[in-house]
A and B are shown apart, each in its own frame.
Chain A
Amino acid sequence: MGKGEIKTNLGDGQYSVTLLSNRDAVEENLARLDAMLADVEAQIADLPIDDPDFEGPGLRLLRASIIKQKETLELIQDDQTVTAWCADLSTELTGIVGTIEINGDPEAGINIRPGYADDAAHDPERDGQLVDIRSMTPVQAFCNLAFLPGWQKWMPTYRIGEITEIEEDTCSLTLDVATSSQQSLDINEKMNLDGVQIEYMECNGAAFAVGDRVIVEYRDRGLANTPVVIGFEQEPQPCGLQIKLTRGDGTPVNAALLTYIKVKDSTGAYQTITYNLNLDTGYWEIEPEDPLDDPLKYWIEYQCTDGLYTQYPGKYKAVDLGSPGNRVAIGRYEDTIPYWKVEAQTTTPDADQIHQLPAAWWQAPSSGVARSSDYRYRYIYAGRTYEKSIVVKSSIPYRVRYAVTDDFQGTYYIGFGFHAELSPCDGETIGIALWDTSGKCTLTTSSTCFTERPSSINSDDEFSKITVTTSDGDTSSPSPKTLQAVKPEWVNDQAGSPTGTTHFIQIANSCPNGSWYGYVEYEFNEDCEAGYDSVEETLAAQPVHNKIADAAIVLIPFYD
């Protein structure tokens, strides 16, 4: 029941709107008082000096009275500008619009009328206009305040409610508790409404779901008081599926980046759809061939260049996909596709290819394995130092496995010497995992296998046991398959390092039968400033033992 002027479009159906009150009475009264004041002041100026009729005090009192009346009117504030949601998803409103005062009280909430049919144009007869009470006569002011609770209750305008049941274009809902600003009287005739019609854009009830908070408009006021749901209290939803996609590095997913969008119903059946990017809103608008009327809602899936296959909302791990909780009704959504890119793989110097690594190794991570190399690896030779580098760009936590393998008659095992140069952050994890290809040891019980090797077998005692050796001399020996959190003292401990965060790990295998393989695993946590959020990370590994032969360096970055 008001009039407003759109000042700023804040997007998604939200606006900055100036509430235009009717100031005609204020202006008329001020003009009348100005004329009266001029007349009285003229009379005062014309008074004889001796004022024989003693008119001066009365005229000066009248002048004071007029000035006081003017001051009261001049205290009326300029029209306020507020932030308000349009009841429907009308995103291009301009100019003068009709406003909704919830409960007929601007203090209870302001919305803009639905704009789908008429751009929310202000209708004086339907919407009226607010008037400041100070511009009224005392009689007008009293009557308005005295009648207010009754008018609010028996000629209701708008209420806020929450949908409790919905069937096609009708719903049941529960109104919010509503009290009048005058005497705090209850102004709801009924709290629970059934069979309420929904009128919303071109799709009516299809845009709503149980639990939605909606605006109820009363029609035929004072007679039937027929409630009709006309929109949302906040964040109006579209008639259909819309989604705004952003890749994890912050790049909006446009037509050039998007690989696909898919929609499947609760039975898992993919729907036939087309989709187009609305360049004004940034939302992908999904058009189904058949109506999206599955009451159990839909999964939305998408992928983009250098992004992972993702199911709304932001699910990319296999264990998280397909959950009923991921399904959504038609509406407007936003999501982020995890950024994942491994590039700039180099091996220095280049070497010959060797056989494929054991499948159990590189397939161990359940999803998203991106290897630094393809299935075929390189020979490295004794007496040389090799380095392999990759650049991982990721917006999700990830891990990297480092390994040096030794090729001996088709058996792959961890080399006699391994040296990985890492840049961990506080709280990140480094670990060692070892497998026994002959089945003599399991993943978790093999610690006894990693005993110190007699020096008679390997004359170089430096690599005679499984050891994590840090540059500060820490030689703690973690149990196999146990990830170790990076100790604070391991960080910033590398003298001469340009970043001050370089961390060295050296491993040697002591298993007597020589049929072992393993890796160092380095976990990049979410909070690591260096290893997360699309920061480029160059990783390197070097075999350093001068007796190693026919081995390969492998880097396997992956996410869980």
Chain B
Amino acid sequence: MTRVQNYLSVAVPSLNHAGEIAARLHGELVLYKVISENGIAYQHEEIARVTLDNIQIYEGGRNRSVVLDGYKNVTKTPKEIFLKGITYRKTSGAAPAAARTVVPDTYLEPGDTVFAGSKTFEARAVTIAVGPGSSQMDVEA
């Protein structure tokens, strides 16, 4: 069992949910993974939970957005994850090891041991970007 500090930041691209956010001043930010097809959810799992620590409002010329972020100390048992679909891997040099995949592993968490080909390291930062037509996951030691 290891104790890790989770950080989660969520950008909400409008003020459409302003009322709901303001009503949950001391709530939590919970991130779910939902896999759905034609509006039917096949998988619905919580993958991160933090306390709501900051609410930042950004206003541009035409758009406004809200960034929510927070931290939480959690105790977890590290897992071992084999990365799939690796497109980039940093294997030498002074900087920490890193890998990029086109197949995000939503079960990967900071503190887990990552097997990226012949390279093994402890994941300290996991960044997942998902769009309608592409996805990418960066893992750094």
Are A and B bound to each other? yes
Q: B22 near A61 (CB under 8 angstroms)? A: yes
Contact bitstring A51-89, B, C-beta under 8 A = 1, else 0: 000001110111111011101100000000000000000
Q: B22 near A64 (CB under 8 angstroms)? A: yes
Q: With A and B bound together, what is the CA distance between A243 and B3 in angstroms? A: 50
Q: With A and B bound together, what is the CA distance between A68 and B57 in angstroms? A: 12
Chain B nearest CB: distance from A64 CB in Å?
Answer: 4
Q: With A and B bound together, what is the CA distance between A72 and B52 in angstroms? A: 11
Contact bitstring B49-80, A, C-beta under 8 A = 1, else 0: 00011111100000000100000000000000
List A contacts of B22 (CB < 8 A).
57, 60-61, 63-64
List B contacts of A60 (CB < 8 A).
18-19, 22-23
List B contacts of A71 (CB < 8 A).
53
B25 contacts partner chain A, Cβ-Cβ < 8 Å: yes
Q: A68 near B55 (CB under 8 angstroms)? A: yes
Residues 87-135 of B contacting A (Cβ, < 8 Å): none
List B contacts of A65 (CB < 8 A).
54-57
Q: A57 near B25 (CB under 8 angstroms)? A: no
List A contacts of B18 (CB < 8 A).
57-58, 60-61
List A contacts of B53 (CB < 8 A).
68, 71-72
Chain B nearest CB: distance from A142 CB in Å?
Answer: 15
Residues 6-42 of B contacting A (Cβ, < 8 Å): 15, 18-19, 21-23, 25
List B contacts of A69 (CB < 8 A).
54
List A contacts of B54 (CB < 8 A).
65, 68-69, 72
Contact bitstring A515-535, B, C-beta under 8 A = 1, else 0: 000000000000000000000
Q: With A and B bound together, what is the CA distance between A58 and B22 in angstroms? A: 9
Shortest Cβ distance from B64 into A: residue: A58
Q: With A and B bound together, what is the CA distance between A57 and B18 in angstroms? A: 5
List B contacts of A61 (CB < 8 A).
15, 18-19, 21-22, 55, 57, 66
Q: B19 near A56 (CB under 8 angstroms)? A: yes
Shortest Cβ distance from A138 into B: residue: B56
10 residue pairs A–B, Cβ–Cβ below 8 Å:
A56-B19, A58-B18, A61-B15, A61-B22, A61-B57, A63-B22, A64-B21, A65-B56, A65-B57, A69-B54
* Given contact pairs A61-B57, A61-B66, A68 touches B52 in the complex (Cβ within 8 A): yes
Chain B nearest CB: distance from A97 CB in Å?
Answer: 35
Q: A62 near B57 (CB under 8 angstroms)? A: yes
List 14 additional A-B contacts (Cβ < 8 Å) besides A62-B57, A65-B54.
A57-B15, A57-B18, A60-B18, A60-B22, A60-B23, A61-B15, A61-B19, A61-B55, A61-B57, A63-B22, A64-B22, A67-B25, A72-B53, A72-B54
Contact bitstring A114-146, B, C-beta under 8 A = 1, else 0: 000000000000000000000000000000000
Chain A nearest CB: distance from B50 CB in Å?
Answer: 13
List A contacts of B25 (CB < 8 A).
64, 67-68
Chain A nearest CB: distance from B75 CB in Å?
Answer: 22
Chain B nearest CB: distance from A61 CB in Å?
Answer: 4
Contact bitstring A28-67, B, C-beta under 8 A = 1, else 0: 0000000000000000000000000000111011111101
Q: With A and B bound together, what is the CA distance between A60 and B55 in angstroms? A: 12
Q: With A and B bound together, what is the CA distance between A56 and B66 in angstroms? A: 16
Q: With A and B bound together, what is the CA distance between A212 and B134 in angstroms? A: 63
List B contacts of A72 (CB < 8 A).
53-54
Chain B nearest CB: distance from A187 CB in Å?
Answer: 15
Selected from A56, A57, A58, A64, the residue in CB contact (under 8 A) with B55 is: A64
Q: With A and B bound together, what is the CA distance between A289 and B54 in angstroms? A: 70
Q: With A and B bound together, what is the CA distance between A354 and B84 in angstroms? A: 107
Q: With A and B bound together, what is the CA distance between A262 and B57 in angstroms? A: 78
Chain A nearest CB: distance from B64 CB in Å?
Answer: 8
Q: With A and B bound together, what is the CA distance between A60 and B66 in angstroms? A: 13
* Given contact pairs A63-B22, A64-B25, A67-B25, A58 touches B52 in the complex (Cβ within 8 A): no
Q: With A and B bound together, what is the CA distance between A72 and B25 in angstroms? A: 13
Shortest Cβ distance from B15 into A: residue: A58
Between B21, B25, B54, B56, the greatest number of chain A beta carbons within 10 A of the residue's beta carbon is seen for B25
Between A65, A67, A69, A71, the greatest number of chain B beta carbons within 10 A of the residue's beta carbon is seen for A65
Chain A nearest CB: distance from B134 CB in Å?
Answer: 29
Residues 276-317 of A contacting B (Cβ, < 8 Å): none
List B contacts of A62 (CB < 8 A).
57
Shortest Cβ distance from B54 into A: residue: A68
Chain A nearest CB: distance from B63 CB in Å?
Answer: 14
Shortest Cβ distance from B59 into A: residue: A58
List A contacts of B19 (CB < 8 A).
56-57, 60-61
Q: With A and B bound together, what is the CA distance between A62 and B21 in angstroms? A: 10
Q: With A and B bound together, what is the CA distance between A61 and B20 in angstroms? A: 9
Q: With A and B bound together, what is the CA distance between A69 and B69 in angstroms? A: 12
Chain B nearest CB: distance from A507 CB in Å?
Answer: 71
Shortest Cβ distance from A183 into B: residue: B96
Q: With A and B bound together, what is the CA distance between A15 and B25 in angstroms? A: 44
Chain B nearest CB: distance from A32 CB in Å?
Answer: 16
